[in-house]
Structures are given as structure tokens and as C-alpha cells.
Amino acid sequence: MEYRYRKNKKLRFKKKSLAILFLIIAIIIAFVFWITNREGPYEKYYQYDENNKKIGEVQHYQKENEQFFISMYYPKTNIKELNKIINDCWNDYIKDQKANKDSKDILYMDYSIDQVYKQYVNLKLSMNRYNEDDKLVEQSNKLFCYDTKNEKVLTVNDVLRKNYKISLANINGIDNINQDNDNLEIKKDKVVIYTNDKLKEKVEIKYEENKDLIRLANKNIPSNAPLDVKTPTPLPKIDPNKKMIAFTLDDGPHKTNTLRVVEMFEKYNGRATFFQLGKNVQAYPDIVKTVYEHGFEIASHSWDHPDLRKLDTNAVNKQIVDTQNAIFSITGDEPSLIRPPFGAYNDNVKTVVKNNGMQIALWTVDTLDWKLKDANKIKDAIVNNAYDGAVVLIHDIHNFTVDGLEMALAELANKGYQFVTLSTLGEYKELKTVLR
Ligand code: ZN
């Protein structure tokens, strides 16, 4: 019995070591398989350029499926919002590629990132698509600059004053650059704007030589932009299914009425648009700044209220440019809308407005408040003519108008109206008769 027992034990021992041996061999095979797969056909897609990664940590995403081998290098910075934008960028790219091809390709991404004057982070994502023979079949770039102070991706509109097309008419390619283009890089001495995502055609604008044209607000960058303006209070959330109305207040700012109007709208979590005269902007800069910082829209109403049809091109331009400059020097922002005095314009005025990167804005409800001169009558004129999508014209320079407005807002709020700026209204309603 004892002998058999020992023999069994020996046999079991042999079986056990054989199993371990097989296990080790299996692990070695798996390991070799993994190594060759990893660094074999795709070896070069596990490399990236170390020189152009000035901030953040290098992250790597890798995936293989029936359609793709994917290897993406991207940065992780200490800016949460920027990380989200970056992730969305390459995730969208991958989704996009999946939708339109069926052969098995390689998607490879590398990037460059740097930071200028602390405030600006330039990022370039280079996306490359190779076929199975390692041939580059498609190349595209995503380039943008993130403003860490204002927490947004910069567009041409944030970098340059609105009249850049006219001011830079001598630069080749400027006509192809739109206000909402975000293919740009902020460098120490210039901004580089690309006209397409291949990044082949570009326009370079030096700060020093174009000081009057630069909108960027940073103490290291030559510009007339003020550095002490607070980021405006965010616009209230709009319910598109509820009624909305845009009040437009002309001829101000007024030394007491304008800020009273701001408070009245804020009581209902509302906003409005002020069409201001340049000469009054110059007289009350602190009021203009407060209106802007409270998230209200500031638009232009010319410098001193002439009939623009009676002026020559240069004089019309001066009315517009002087007012833009006055508002810009206070807020660092400038109107995109102008209401010509009396709503009067001709083709010449229209052209000058367009050349300044602006749009003409009229109204749909005229209360004739200046003629009524009575708060109750003005209140009735507003309430009785109000409708969903209306653009109401009043003047914040008259006490009786502001008194009437106060009563009108209470009644309209009761009826479920939201009070919005003209630009906000334009996002939800057709304003064909208003915006020209
Ligand atoms: Zn007016």
C-alpha cells in the first residue's frame, strides 16, 4: 500500500510540472505574439516628436478593430476645459473616419503645444491616415488657440478689430479670412491665421505695425484694448419654446436712466440692446463699462445723430469708426450692429457699414415714446403691440419712457415673455425686416 502511494505521488508530481511547463511556454508565446504585434507592423506609429510639446503630459490612445489601427498622441494639460476640447476633437475625427471608409487603415495623430504670454495656448493636432501599405492617404490638421483668461477658443473676431478686411486690404488672402475662423496661432510678435485645414495658405499680422487693429488684451501685446474690463455676466438661458422680445434703447447712454434700465431688466433675469451715440459714450465711459460688464449688448447709433444719407462716404465712415473706437477703448469689444439715426440709410451707408464688419439693425415696434411723453401711454404702446419676436424701439434718455418701461416689463413678464438682446433674438427668430 505504501509503495503504491509513493508511486502515485511521483506521478502526480510529474503531471504538475508538465502543466507548469506548458503554462510557461504559453505565456512566452503570448508575450512574443504581443511584442511582435505591438512593435511589428505598427512600430512607427508608437513614436512621436518630443520637441514641440512645451506643456502638459503626453497621453496615448490605442485601439485596433476590423476597420482601423488607431494610435493617437494628445496632451493632458492642467486646464480642464481645454482637455475636454482636445478629447472632443480627436474623438470626433475618429467617428468621422469610421463613417466614411471600409478598408482597414491606420489612423495616427501627433501634436504640438505651446503657451505664449501665459494667457494663450496654441495647439496643433496632426491627423494622418495611412493605408495598409503605409502610404499616407489623407492628412488634416486641427489648429486652434485657447485663451485661458477668457476660457474660450479664439476666433479672428477675438483677435482683430471688425474693420480688418479694409485695414489690411494690401495683404494677400485677407479676403478669404472670415470672422469666425479659428485656425490661428498667437505668437509673441504676431498672429498667424490659416485659410484652410491643410494649413498651406496663411496670413501673418504683426502686432507692432497694426496696433490699432489688434483686439487681444494682454499687457505684452501692443493694442488699444483696455486691460481692466471684467468678463461680462453670462447671458441667461433661453427657453426657445417661450415667448421672447428684444428691447432696443436708442440715443444713450444717459447719466441716470441707463443704469436704471439695466437694473430693471436684471430684475427679470433679462437683457436688452443699447444703441449708443459715440458722443454720449465719450461723456459717460463708466456707464458704458458697467452696461457691458453686466452682459447687455452695446450697439452703435452713430457719433452725433446725423442723417447719414446726407453725408459723403468719408463722413459716414468717420461717424462709424469714431464710435467704434470710443466703445472699444472702454469695453475691449465693439458693436456688430448699427442703427442709422431715423432708420435712414442708402446704398452708400450700407457699403460703409459692411466695410466696417457691421450690420444695419432696424426695429418692428415703434412706440413713438418721444411724442407720447407719458409713462402710462408708453406702457400701453409697448404692451399692446408686443408679440413673440418683436423688436421694440424706445429711448433711455427720457424719464417718462423709463417709467413706462418699468410698468411694461412687469406686465410682459406676467404674460411669460423673456427679455433678450437683439443678437440673441436673431439666433431664434427670422429678423429679415430688421437686420439688413
Ligand atoms: Zn436716435
> Does 102 score more than 70 pLDDT?
no
CA 418 to ligand 1 centroid distance, Å: 25
| pLDDT at position 65 | 85
Q: How far apart are CA 344 and CA 307, in angstroms?
A: 7
pLDDT digits 0-9 by tens, 345-354:
999 999 999 9
DSSP state of 168: T
CA 67 to ligand 1 centroid distance, Å: 63
CA 251 to ligand 1 centroid distance, Å: 5
CA 275 to ligand 1 centroid distance, Å: 8
- Read off the pLDDT band of 299 (50, 70, 90): very high
C-alpha cell at 206: 504683426
pLDDT digits 0-9 by tens, 184-203:
999 999 999 998 767 788 99
| pLDDT at position 96 | 85
SS3 (DSSP) at 435: strand
**Residue 160: how many CB atoms within 10 A of its CB?**
25
| pLDDT at position 20 | 84
With CA atoms as reference, report the closest residue to 331 among 281, 397, 266.
281
* pLDDT, the chain, mean: 92
Q: How far apart are CA 381 and CA 367, in angstroms?
A: 6
> Does 101 score more than 70 pLDDT?
no
pLDDT digits 0-9 by tens, 243-287:
999 999 999 999 999 999 999 999 999 999 999 999 999 999 999
CA 367 to ligand 1 centroid distance, Å: 13
> Does 40 score more than 70 pLDDT?
no
How big is the chain by its Cα radius of gyration, in Å?
31
> Does 14 score more than 90 pLDDT?
no
Backbone angles phi, psi at 88, to 5 degrees: -60, -40
> Does 26 score more than 90 pLDDT?
no
| pLDDT at position 330 | 97
Beta bridge partners of 136: 130
Q: How far apart are CA 312 and CA 314, in angstroms?
A: 6
Kindly list the domain boundaries of the chain, sorted by start residue.
43-147, 154-210, 244-428
Give the list of residues 6+ apart from residue 393 with CB closer than 8 angstroms, or none: 248, 250, 363, 365, 366, 367
CA 75 to ligand 1 centroid distance, Å: 52
Per-residue b or e along 31-46, where b marks 16 or more CB atoms closer than 10 Å to that residue's CB: eeeeeeeeeeebeebe
CA 309 to ligand 1 centroid distance, Å: 15
Same fold across 43-147 and 244-428 = no
* DSSP states of 26-41: HHHHHHHHHHHHHHST
CA 405 to ligand 1 centroid distance, Å: 17
Tell me which architecture the domain covering 43-147 has in CATH: 2-Layer Sandwich (3.30)
Q: Structure pTM? A: 0.81
CA 301 to ligand 1 centroid distance, Å: 7
CA 305 to ligand 1 centroid distance, Å: 6
CA 273 to ligand 1 centroid distance, Å: 13
Q: Does domain 244-428 have CATH number 3.20.20.370?
A: yes
| pLDDT at position 369 | 94
- Read off the pLDDT band of 216 (50, 70, 90): very high
CA 226 to ligand 1 centroid distance, Å: 28
- Across 159-163, average pLDDT: 95
- Read off the pLDDT band of 9 (50, 70, 90): low
Is the Cα torsion angle 36, 40, 45, 50 positive or negative in sign?
A: positive
Rounded to a whole number, what is the distance in angstroms from the first to the last CA of the chain?
Answer: 108
